[in-house]
Amino acid sequence: MDLDLSKVVVIHDEEAHRFESQVVGLRSFMNYRRFPDRIVITHTEVPPPLEGHGLAGKLARTALDFAHANQLRVVPLCPYVADYLRKHAEYHDLLSPEDLQSVMSVSGGPATP
């Protein structure tokens, strides 16, 4: 499948606490829990036919940009988002020092929810 990510729209469904997109009738999404000072990203799911096309990355960028715009700390309980953050230093300021240390250790998960 040839997928043009620039044409994929990510929608923020605040009532459902998720960022989502639909491509060829299949829904990809990233769930989160919102607190006054932080967003806890809990799960990312991309249907198997859409895996490997960058959809999870686009969901992550959208969620992290939302956190930046709203001055929220990010707690990455989702392993995909923790890995994404490890590779993208431009978002490290969204993490607490403990979570940054945990994310940067290959075997670690987030320190605090």
pLDDT by 10s per residue, the chain, length 113: 678 888 999 999 999 999 999 999 999 999 999 999 999 999 999 999 999 999 999 999 999 999 999 999 999 999 999 999 999 999 999 999 999 999 998 654 455 45
| CA–CA separation, 8 and 60 (whole Å) | 13
| Domain layout of the chain by residue ranges | 5-104
Query: Domain 5-104 carries which CATH code?
Result: 3.40.630.30
Within a 10 A sphere around the Cβ of 57, how many other Cβ atoms?
Answer: 16
Q: Residue 44 in 3-state DSSP? A: strand
How many whole angstroms separate alpha carbon 60 and alpha carbon 85?
Answer: 9
